[in-house]
Structure 1
Amino acid sequence: MKAFSLTTAAMLLASTAAIAQVETRSVTFENEGATLSGTLYLPEGHDGSALPTVVVTGAWTTVQDQMPSIYAEEMVERGFAAFTFDFRGWGRSGDLPQNVRFVESPEAKTSDIRAAFAFVGTLPEVDATRVNGLGICASAGYMVDAAAGNDRVQRVGLVAPWLQNEEIVNAVYGGPTGVSGLIKVSRAAEAAGGKIIPAAGPTGTEGVLMPFDGYYVDPERGAIPAYDNQWNNAGWEGWLTYHPADNPDRLTQPLAIVHSEAAAIPQGVRTFLAGFKGEVTLKMLEDVTQFDFYDNPEDVTRAADTVADHFAGVAAQDS
């Protein structure tokens, strides 16, 4: 396998591995006092020339080894380099105090994405003039925020985006009473220095964030060893008061969205696009669930085709 030499002082070479036709390299970079662990994806045997690149981020509570890695590989197969990373307090970036570990903080995660954009632009295999962002599920809002006003980012793609506002939050989390109750839980946990619970468990399980069967509890899907499966109750207030669906006008880059009426909160996409004034490609797939977008090969392929064409500046085709 070809060895690469990276010149940036912010990056620490950790390992190189090959998967299928993709070469990966583990790296680290810094943001706001935290050391974040990332992975650069390149075509196997890449000659070191600078490639257009996609920074990929995933659903809430997840790590880079889950759906971000799947889409990163898909991007490499379509001619891009790709970059994934674990947010501060999660996965291999988790060496932080309990009060900030496993906190679903839109502010912190948005900052980490901005730092990732800055970092990848220093790598010799990355064409810093052709860096794009791909946000999946909850990180869609973070990706929009990180790209807004950011000259480092050329185009943005969102897959199965969870774009919420106050109305959607109330509908999902038990109305104003349910939301205010969770905010009280959040403040109590923060005052106690954090309270960590399991993120996912089988349907009927008590004391977990997401009690259901499916992606997060299936070891052949999302329940992989790298997944922390943790949630800090201190994160509730920041998450519930985060309303990306109401702030589309801050994004000026061309945008592509792939979603489905069968997936989570498609009304958030409609709300966002109603106020978005830029160039947009919208692909609504039929009967695709939220989890299907994470790892079902057929649906991932269709989503990846759409966003890759968008990143390459290719006009969208109906399918």
Structure 2
Amino acid sequence: MKHERVTFDSDGATLVGNLYLPDTTAGPVPGVVVAGTWTSVKELMADRYAQRLAGYGYAALSFDFTGFGESEGEPRDVENPARKVADIHHALTFLAAHPAVDRDRLAELGICAAAMYMADNAAHDPRVKALALVAPWLHDATICEATYGGADAVAARITTGREARARYDETGEVDYVPVVSTTDPRAAMPYDIDFYLNPARGGVPAWPNRFAVMAWPDWLTYDAISLAPQITQPTVIVHSTDAAIPEGASRFHASLAGPKDILWSQGTQFDFYDQEPQVTTATDTVAAHLRRHLHH
């Protein structure tokens, strides 16, 4: 496998990525854009999956979204679904123009929250020939209410987010809380999640563990499940009933318009980020899906 540190433009921001290429001279190869959880940087799980896919013969691009990690963009660390979908679109444009990549054989892999953003782009981007979602977080208003403590709790977060946005617009100051914390009840995920807090796993220096409060309205009103009927590309989902919101994956899968497959595997949500056998099960399944639909 070969590795290139790359940059590309996304609506005026320079994004930084890692392009992993198979060690082959057999002409242009299919390309895959890979992205991970909300608030994540490429080092958390996208790099791992991209490296694995390069081993299967694909040109795989992981990157930092606008305002995250090494990429440009202000304000920093704001979970903005529309902006992330646009970044994915530009990442595909970069891949399509790369000399090692066959521009007619492009695919997307989304892990956790990036499943929503990859699905959104696939619904509107005919360049995407195959879609793969691993441990996908796929929500709509019903699931958000069930996940975040009911309609009143969701409304309270949205209000808090709008107030934070107004403060930013007025003062330029961003109100941050931790993404994950065992002690701060304002955290986006106020739980003891080893993956994010363990420096040997996801608690790496590149990931600042901060959530911009102004992001709550866009996140909580985003409806990824309604996109499924617009997705005609062959889609595979790898999930577990012990992982995050399996109901969302089931409903999304049922509504997909194109060829579809779903593998119900074993493991928690966080196992799919960096643990075995979950990562190998997922990458084997994704690679088999891409072989079926990208090789003509």
TM-score by length of 1: 0.87
Distance in 2, matches of 1:152 and 1:246, equals 21
Answering whether residue 67 of structure 2 is matched by residue 67 of structure 1, we say no
Cα distance change of structure 1 residues 38 and 89 upon mapping to structure 2, 3 Å threshold: same
Distance in 1, matches of 2:4 and 2:124, equals 29
Residue ranges of structure 1 left out of the alignment (5+ in a row): 1-21, 315-319
Aligned to 1:96: 73
Distance in 2, matches of 1:260 and 1:37, equals 32
Per-residue deviation, 1:48: 7.8
SS at match of 1:192: helix
Distance in 2, matches of 1:217 and 1:48, equals 42
Of residues 31, 35, 39 in structure 2, which corresponds to 1:53?
31
CA RMSD of aligned residues (A): 1.4
Q: Deviations over 1:99-129 (max 9, x none)?
A: x321111100001001111111000011111
The count of residues paired between Structure 1 and Structure 2 equals 287
Aligned to 1:87: 65
Aligned to 2:115: 140
Identity between Structure 1 and Structure 2 (%): 42
Q: Which moved more, 1:203-212 or 1:130-139?
A: 203-212
Per-residue deviation, 1:38: 1.1
Spell out structure 1 runs of 4+ moving beyond 6 A: none
Distance in 2, matches of 1:136 and 1:168, equals 18
Of residues 139, 149, 153 in structure 1, which corresponds to 2:124?
149
Answering whether residue 234 of structure 2 is matched by residue 257 of structure 1, we say no
Answering whether residue 5 of structure 2 is matched by residue 26 of structure 1, we say yes
Distance in 1, matches of 2:7 and 2:278, equals 31
Q: Deviations over 1:178-223 (max 9, x none)?
A: 011000111011011131222223x234442223231000111101
Answering whether residue 278 of structure 2 is matched by residue 303 of structure 1, we say no
SS at match of 1:312: helix
Residue ranges of structure 2 left out of the alignment (5+ in a row): 169-173
TM-score by length of 2: 0.93
Q: Which moved more, 1:56-65 or 1:146-155?
A: 146-155
Distance in 1, matches of 2:254 and 2:261, equals 13
Per-residue deviation, 1:228: 2.3
Q: Deviations over 1:55-91 (max 9, x none)?
A: 1010001011111011011101111110011000100
Distance in 2, matches of 1:135 and 1:218, equals 23
Distance in 2, matches of 1:185 and 1:172, equals 17
Distance in 2, matches of 1:23 and 1:244, equals 34
In the TM superposition, 1:1-319 aligns within 5 A as: 22-44=1-23, 46-47=24-25, 49-93=27-71, 95-97=72-74, 100-193=75-168, 194-201=174-181, 203-211=182-190, 212-286=192-266, 288-313=267-292
